[in-house]
Amino acid sequence: MQIKAITIQGEAGDIEIKRVERGALVIANDIEVLVENTASREDLYGIAWNAAKVIWGTTKRGEPKATNSMIHDVLNEIERVAV
């Protein structure tokens, strides 16, 4: 079974993850990022970190109001669609 698209509804905004030919397209607040299925886990973590800022909002320092575990949950969903 393959997941074609996921929408994550958040407090500060929504994230949409869609499968494309070479991976996934992460869409948040009119910003689109192509995630290739060959991307490293570190690259995916950076994308998930930025997505967490849209989902849960940011602190005064500009960091996501999310725990590391929450960011990894977003990362897992991105991988789930991209692979």
Going from N- to C-terminal start, the domains of the chain cover: 5-82
pLDDT tens figures, 15-45: 999 999 989 999 988 889 999 989 999 999 9
Using CA atoms, how far apart are residues 17 and 36, in angstroms rounded to an integer? 12
Residue 76, H or E segment: helix 68-82
Phi-psi region of 30 (alpha: psi -120 to 50; beta: other; left: phi over 0): left
64 band by pLDDT with thresholds 50, 70 and 90: very high
| Cβ proximity of 83 and 37 under 8 Å | yes
49 band by pLDDT with thresholds 50, 70 and 90: very high
